[in-house]
């Protein structure tokens, strides 16, 4: 019923990812589950420095590779996200492969 | 009561600019032990798989709302909670850009009023703000610029709001104008700049700072509010004091207000120069000239709009039984002149009955009986008209950030 707390190695951040089939909510929790594919842990690890990752699946219908590239660039250049060039490439590949819903 | 809850929840105190001691609660763990619920999203086309389910989450002091993001918190009011004339405080939508959100200690909070165009600097406690100026109440819609972005076609990036990044409340506070006059506005003042107590995780991230044209700041309706629907402002809606800019979209309604600066120059921060902008000339409304370029201009007033609260999309109405269409209509402050309803796919229109006028910045209830004598599908559309003659359009004016969706909406029901 309840998923165990998961530690994201390298970030020292403990996230409580609780999910349950209850019909009504009595709290709110950070969603950290993204599709399990190469690049996921890096993507989650960098994005959650500033924001939870619900934005990624919810924005998928509006995104393609070019849009993800623009978003990653905005996060790095405008918002100061500490992401190296090599990491940006891996994050782009992961997001494009798993969350590009726009034709 | 609310303040006591907030203090009890605080886990750390920090000095902020040497002015006020603010208590901060670590949001990351605030949801420990929480439950999540998922349910079908009625407002979306079934084909948009990623938006096909929505998550409900309850922030401390809030009832379950549609959770678009936990951190920073972005929670939307479900349609059913938009039915009342005044949206309950615990159901009112929550919208933040940056994740460090202090639980402000009202006893040590101060509002600093200064700037290059202020002849005198002020530092006001909450008590001084409340007792030193005339108290004013008004009803006004607070609507996020990106309300309905999730309904945009083609889809655009950003928080995928449905219809509920809005609400109507009675706001009580003092006029910003009276406070600015006490600081003595110098000739040559151009903009008034607002900062809140919330901030970014990274020092490189632009702080959320917004400005208004001087004339809008001096408008008698622009308030520094400390009450919402007769209660102290809820934490998640900007306690202890937020800016109220009736008729303008929510981006200007600075929460957790701590600083007001009167300036002779256009403020050039990210949230004015790069965000919350529209193609110049694409939409009606007041022009924010000191921030306008030939290409883009800041969003300003809310456009005339309406929302069908009942019936819900896909509802089955019993043949021969009483049924009605009801909802809300609002605009940027001219007030609503008429609301028309079509039940035949926009071929013919009839005027709905309007509810009580709560003020020109509030939304207006409307209702009209539905004829259920014959079985079959009904396409119910609603269009509002403003007292300034503006009417909701049929076609969306596309803009890359997904603002100003005020197109006529249709709800499909079945009489059986």
Interface touch B70/A82, C-beta < 8 Å: no
Is B14 contained in some domain? no
Interface touch B30/A28, C-beta < 8 Å: yes
Does the pLDDT of residue A15 top 90, yes or no? no
CB atoms within 10 A of CB B182: 15
Residue in the block written with tokens 């997001």:
A95
pLDDT for res A103: 67
Interface touch A58/B36, C-beta < 8 Å: no
Phi, then psi, of A25 in degrees rounded to 5: -105, 145
Tens-binned pLDDT, residue by residue, of chain B (416 aa)? 333 333 222 222 222 222 222 222 222 223 322 333 333 333 333 333 334 467 899 999 999 999 999 999 999 999 999 999 999 999 999 999 999 999 999 999 999 999 999 999 999 999 999 999 999 999 999 999 999 999 999 999 999 999 999 999 999 999 999 999 999 999 999 999 999 999 999 999 999 999 999 999 999 999 999 999 999 999 999 999 999 999 999 999 999 999 999 999 999 999 999 999 999 999 999 999 999 999 999 999 999 999 999 999 999 999 999 999 999 999 999 999 999 999 999 999 999 999 999 999 999 999 999 999 999 999 999 999 999 999 999 999 999 999 999 999 999 999 99
Statement to judge: residues B203 and B284 lie in one domain: yes
Number of domains in chain B: 2
pLDDT for res B32: 29
Point out the residue among A13, A15, A54 whose CB comes nearest to the CB of B69: A54
Statement to judge: residues B252 and B320 lie in one domain: no
Interface touch B35/A26, C-beta < 8 Å: yes
CA distances B26 to B13, B32, B40, Å, are 11, 11, 31
Task: Give the residue from B261, B278, B298 where a domain finishes.
Answer: B298
Is B159 contained in some domain? yes
* Minimal C-alpha gap between A36 and chain B (Å): 17
* Minimal C-alpha gap between A7 and chain B (Å): 13
pLDDT for res B65: 97
- Count CA atoms within 13 Å of residue B120 on its CB side: 9
Residue A43 per-residue DSSP state: H
Pick the closest to residue B83 from B236, B331, B309, B260 (CA basis): B309
* Minimal C-alpha gap between A98 and chain B (Å): 12
Indicate the fold that domain A6-99 takes in CATH: Cytochrome Bc1 Complex; Chain D, domain 2 (1.10.760)
Distance CA B391, CA B142 (A): 20
Cβ neighbours of A19 in B, within 8 Å: 36
Taking the Cβ of residue A12 and every Cβ of chain B, the question of whether any pair is shorter than 8 Å is answered with no
Distance CA B198, CA B24 (A): 10
Does the pLDDT of residue A69 top 50, yes or no? yes
CA distances B78 to B41, B42, B68, B102, B155, Å, are 10, 10, 12, 26, 21
Statement to judge: residues B245 and B352 lie in one domain: no
User: At CA B390, angle to CA B389 and CA B395, rounded to 5?
Assistant: 145
pLDDT for res A72: 98
Statement to judge: residues B188 and B268 lie in one domain: yes
Q: Which of B50, B94, B154, B277 best tests the A interface by mutation, with the highest count of A CBs <10 A?
A: B50
Looking at the DSSP assignment, which residues form a beta bridge with residue A55?
Answer: none
Statement to judge: residues B268 and B401 lie in one domain: no
The CATH number of the domain where B373 resides is what?
A: 2.60.40.650
- Give the burial class of B391: count Cβ atoms within 10 A of its Cβ; 0-12 exposed, 13-18 middle, 19 or more buried: middle
Statement to judge: residues B352 and B317 lie in one domain: yes
Statement to judge: residues B409 and B273 lie in one domain: no
Interface touch B71/A51, C-beta < 8 Å: yes
pTM of the model: 0.86
Q: Which of B44, B46, B57 best tests the A interface by mutation, with the highest count of A CBs <10 A?
A: B57
Task: Report CA torsion sign: B302, B196, B270, B267.
Answer: positive
Point out the residue among A22, A50, A82 whose CB comes nearest to the CB of B35: A22
- Give the burial class of B7: count Cβ atoms within 10 A of its Cβ; 0-12 exposed, 13-18 middle, 19 or more buried: middle
CA torsion A34→A35→A39→A41, rounded to 10°? Answer: 40
Closest Cα in chain B to A78? B205
Statement to judge: residues B127 and B180 lie in one domain: yes
Looking at the DSSP assignment, which residues form a beta bridge with residue B257?
Answer: B196
Pick the closest to residue B304 from B282, B281, B278, B333 (CA basis): B333
- Count CA atoms within 13 Å of residue A77 on its CB side: 8
Statement to judge: residues B294 and B328 lie in one domain: no
Q: What is the distance in angstroms between the CA of the first residue and the CA of the last residue of chain A? A: 37
CA distances B365 to B8, B337, B353, Å, are 39, 12, 8
Contacts of B7 (CB under 8 A, 6+ apart): B23, B103, B105
Pick the closest to residue B29 from B49, B15, B9 (CA basis): B9
Structure tokens that stand for B84 in this block? 């009342």
Statement to judge: residues B189 and B224 lie in one domain: yes
Closest Cα in chain A to B67? A28
The CATH number of the domain where B130 resides is what?
A: 3.90.420.10
Provide ipTM, 2 decimals. Answer: 0.84
Contacts of B366 (CB under 8 A, 6+ apart): B306, B326, B327, B328, B329, B339, B341, B352, B353, B354, B355, B382, B384
Task: Give the residue from B246, B275, B298 where a domain finishes.
Answer: B298
Statement to judge: residues B191 and B280 lie in one domain: yes
CA distances B404 to B143, B144, B267, B408, Å, are 10, 9, 24, 12
Cβ atoms of B263 and B190 within 8 Å: the answer is: yes
Residue B163 per-residue DSSP state: S
Interface touch A71/B205, C-beta < 8 Å: no
CB atoms within 10 A of CB B63: 18
Cβ atoms of B245 and B212 within 8 Å: the answer is: yes
* Minimal C-alpha gap between B272 and chain A (Å): 13
Q: Which residues of B270-286 are buried (b: 16+ CB within 10 A; e: fewer)?
A: ebbbebbbbeeeebebe
pLDDT for res B102: 97
Average pLDDT, stretch A46-50?
A: 97
CA distances B227 to B11, B126, B163, B224, B325, Å, are 25, 12, 25, 9, 32
Cβ atoms of A86 and A46 within 8 Å: the answer is: no
* Minimal C-alpha gap between B396 and chain A (Å): 17
Residue in the block written with tokens 């259920």:
B372
Cβ atoms of B415 and B322 within 8 Å: the answer is: no
List the domain range (segments joined by +) for residue B379.
305-415
pLDDT for res A13: 28
Task: Give the residue from B269, B298, B327 where a domain finishes.
Answer: B298
Point out the residue among B50, B70, B155 whose CB comes nearest to the CB of A29: B70
Is B164 contained in some domain? yes
pLDDT for res A28: 85
Cβ neighbours of B202 in A, within 8 Å: 49-50, 79-82
Pick the closest to residue B237 from B94, B352, B413, B56 (CA basis): B94
Pick the closest to residue B206 from B291, B101, B292, B98 (CA basis): B98
Statement to judge: residues B293 and B331 lie in one domain: no
* Minimal C-alpha gap between B317 and chain A (Å): 25
């Amino acid at each position: 019923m309840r998923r165990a707390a998961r530690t994201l190695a390298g970030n020292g951040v403990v996230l409580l990812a609780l999910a349950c089939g209850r019909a009504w909510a009595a709290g709110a929790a950070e969603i950290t589950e993204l599709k399990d594919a190469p690049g996921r842990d890096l993507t989650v690890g960098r994005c959650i420095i500033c924001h939870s990752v619900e934005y990624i699946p919810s924005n998928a219908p509006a995104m393609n590779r070019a849009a993800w590239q623009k978003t990653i660039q905005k996060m790095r250049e405008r918002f100061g996200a500490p992401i190296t060039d090599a990491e940006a490439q891996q994050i782009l590949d992961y997001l494009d492969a798993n969350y590009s819903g726009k034709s | 009561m609310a303040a006591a809850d907030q203090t009890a929840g605080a886990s750390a105190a920090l000095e902020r600019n040497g002015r006020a001691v603010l208590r901060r609660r670590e949001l990351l763990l605030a949801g420990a032990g929480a439950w999540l619920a998922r349910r079908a999203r009625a407002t979306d086309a079934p084909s948009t798989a990623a938006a096909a389910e929505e998550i409900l989450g309850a922030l401390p002091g809030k009832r379950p709302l549609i959770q678009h993001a936990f951190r920073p918190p972005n929670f939307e009011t479900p349609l059913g909670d938009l039915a009342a004339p005044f949206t309950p405080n615990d159901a009112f939508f929550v919208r933040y850009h940056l994740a460090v959100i202090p639980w402000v200690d009202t006893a040590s909070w101060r509002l600093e009023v200064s700037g290059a165009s202020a002849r005198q600097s002020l530092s006001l406690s909450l008590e001084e703000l409340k007792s030193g100026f005339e108290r004013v109440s008004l009803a006004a819609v607070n609507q996020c610029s990106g309300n309905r972005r999730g309904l945009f076609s083609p889809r655009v990036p950003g928080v995928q709001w449905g219809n509920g990044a809005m609400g109507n409340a009675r706001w009580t506070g003092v006029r910003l104008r009276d406070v600015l006059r006490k600081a003595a506005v110098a000739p040559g003042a151009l903009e008034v700049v607002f900062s809140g107590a919330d901030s970014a995780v990274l020092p490189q991230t632009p702080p959320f700072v917004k400005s208004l044209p001087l004339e809008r700041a001096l408008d008698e309706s622009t308030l520094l509010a400390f009450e919402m629907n007769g209660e102290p402002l809820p934490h998640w809606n900007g306690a202890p004091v937020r800016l109220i800019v009736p008729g303008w979209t929510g981006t200007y309604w600075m929460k957790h207000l701590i600083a007001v600066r009167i300036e002779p120059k256009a403020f050039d921060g990210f949230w004015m120069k790069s965000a919350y902008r529209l193609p110049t000339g694409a939409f009606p409304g007041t022009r924010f000239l000191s921030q306008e370029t030939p290409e883009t201009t800041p969003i300003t007033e809310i456009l005339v709009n309406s929302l069908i609260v009942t019936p819900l999309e896909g509802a089955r109405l019993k043949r021969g039984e009483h049924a009605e269409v009801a909802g809300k209509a609002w605009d940027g402050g001219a007030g609503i002149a008429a609301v028309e309803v079509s039940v035949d796919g926009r071929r013919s229109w009839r005027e709905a009955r309007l509810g009580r006028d709560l003020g020109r910045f509030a939304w207006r209830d409307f209702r009209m009986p539905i004829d259920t004598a014959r079985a079959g599908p009904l396409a119910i559309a609603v269009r509002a008209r403003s007292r300034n003659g503006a009417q909701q359009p049929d076609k969306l004016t596309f803009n890359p950030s997904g603002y100003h969706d005020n197109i006529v909406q249709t709800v499909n029901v079945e009489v059986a």
